[in-house]
Amino acid sequence: MAFTAEPVARAIEEFNKLPGIGPKSAQRLTYYLLCSPDEEAKALAEAILALKEKIRLCSVCLNITDCDPCLVCQDKERDHSKICVVERPLDILPLERTGRYKGVYHVLHGVISPAQGIGPEELKVKELLSRLQDSSITEVILATNPNVEGEATAMYLRGIILPLGIRVTRLARGLPFGAELEYADDRTLGQALEGRQEF
Amino acid sequence: MGAPRSYQTQAIIIKQIKLGEADKILTIYTPEFGKLKAVAKGACRPRSKLGGNVEPLTYSLVLLAKGRNFDIVTQSQTIDGFLALKSDLWRMACGLYILELIDSFTMEHSENRPLFDLLLDTLHQLCQADSSEIILRYFELHLLQYLGYRPQLQQCVNCDSPLKPVVNFFSPGQGGILCPRCSGKEPMSRLLSVDALKILRFWQNCDYTIAKRVKIKSELSLELEQILQWYIEYLLQREVKSTAWLKELRKRIIS
């Protein structure tokens, strides 16, 4: 890009590395920032820097946080005897949005995926087991995704947690609100039937 | 009128990768077209009508629309979800292992009907029986056969002389057995016991119901596993990643 000033070319190149951003979008974003007020560009730059400098993993639940332990783990109001195990930090957000869960979390940072060579050693399973040494923990809720890999991970964890004498539960499976029976797959519908409740 | 814009096929879902916000790229194995890649739009959304019908280890009837790069899955109905396979950690690991083998060995758009039938049959077998080790070995042996790598187990691959009931040698490079006299000429060969050779020969020419009747001791089972996996990894020129997970689970089952 001989006609582009070096800082502009560099910004375009960096934007281009982001997922879902092609060369054209990268150019558009760069020129947008170029024309935007100084404060806006600075705020973005600072936000990105802070992301890398201040964010780390909570030493307890391994969620991403800017204070250690994270706000959830610090909260005395929450029920620390229940641990909800999730695949990724992002999975905590929808669970929190429900407003129904008052326990704490544990983030695995991945799922068992044999075809990609990801086994339990690559996940934060050891950290989970050392948390479970605490006798006050009464329940582990397995909230990995209901797909093949999430299910394999859940079954594996059940196998190693049950012998510790801790109750292991799994998020229920059933029909999502607004769904149609016609399109439900057999497994989901079967489990929705098995898990039916008094109405 | 040009070629029809959509077509229907049976498919076994082998793999899925997330694409963008809520789409998935599926790798499917079909009887008519071999391996295909197709996009399942919106499959990550809870309310998706594709969702559970396009999970790996599912046998589905899918309707595909021709797309520019990938075809697009427009409808899908599960024929068999292999629930027994998905609710047991060991069996699921076996299932994922055979899917990885199929994915590694096949090319897109190359039809192989016997291989499809073998895959489907194997998944059914894994759901029923306990003899999963035999099923895996039988699958490996016949997979190699349908891909054109059927090991030569009757004569020595070097001198063509009939094999005697003594300890022979297996050579992945030559794709078969070497008699003791010829084994020196091939540096990459491994001992193969008489029993192992007998079982491999027997499996090569029978179907699942008969193959499963064989009772094999754990040492022999290990020997067969090592020989076949050695051959497979030689052909692929890389390791099969799922084997690590199978080994780990096996250790846990034993302990």
pLDDT tens figures, B185-222: 888 889 999 999 999 999 999 988 888 888 889 899 99
Check if the interface score ipTM surpasses 0.90: no
Give me the residue spans of the domains in chain B.
Answer: 6-81, 84-254
User: Average pLDDT for residues A29-35, to the nearest whole number?
Assistant: 92
CB contact under 8 A, A148 and B100: no
Q: Residue B102's closest CA among B140, B65, B55?
A: B140
Name the amino acid, one letter, at A144: T
pLDDT reading at B39 higher than 60: yes
What number is the average pLDDT over the span B234-243?
Answer: 93
pLDDT recorded at residue B187 = 83
Q: Chain B: which residues have CB within 8 Å of chain A?
A: 15, 20, 46-47, 49, 51-53, 55-57, 78, 81, 83, 86, 88-89, 92-93, 96-97, 99-100, 103, 241-242, 244-246, 248, 252
**Which of B117, B109, B106, B155 lies closest to B139 in space, CA to CA?**
B117
The whole-model pTM stands at 0.85
pLDDT of B53 reads 81
C-alpha distance from A13 to closest chain B C-alpha (Å): 21
Quickly state the pLDDT bin for A167 (edges 50, 70, 90): very high
Q: Chain A contacts of B246, Cβ < 8 Å?
A: 114
- Chain A residues touching B105 at Cβ < 8 A: none
| pLDDT tens digits, one per residue of A15-27 | 999 988 899 999 9
Task: Using CB atoms, pick whichever of B46, B92, B244 lies closest to residue A176.
Answer: B46
Is residue B1's pLDDT more than 80? no
| Topology annotation, domain A77-170 | Dna Topoisomerase Vi A Subunit; Chain: A, domain 2 (3.40.1360)
Whether the CB-CB separation of A61 and A105 falls below 8 Å is answered with: yes
| Contact assessment for residue A157 and residue A85, using Cβ atoms and an 8 Å cutoff | yes
The CATH classification number of A6-54 equals 1.10.8.420
The domain ranges of chain A are 6-54, 77-170
Q: Which fold does the domain B84-254 belong to in CATH?
A: de novo design (two linked rop proteins) (1.20.1440)
CB atoms inside a 10 Å sphere around CB A135: 10
Q: Give, in words, the CATH class of B6-81.
A: mainly beta
Q: How much is the pLDDT for A179?
A: 78
**One-character DSSP codes across B73-119:** EEEEEEEE--HHHHTSHHHHHHHHHHHHHHHHH--BT---HHHHHHH
The two three-digit tokens of residue A187, written as one number: 């497994």
pLDDT at A88 over 70: yes
- Per residue in A39-55, pLDDT (tens digit) is 999 999 999 998 888 88
Name the amino acid, one letter, at A156: Y
- Chain segment B17-35, per-residue pLDDT in tens: 888 888 999 999 999 999 9
pLDDT at A2: 62
Work out the pLDDT band at A197, boundaries 50, 70, 90.
confident
What value does the mean pLDDT of chain A take?
90
- Confidence class of residue A76 from pLDDT cuts 50, 70 and 90? very high
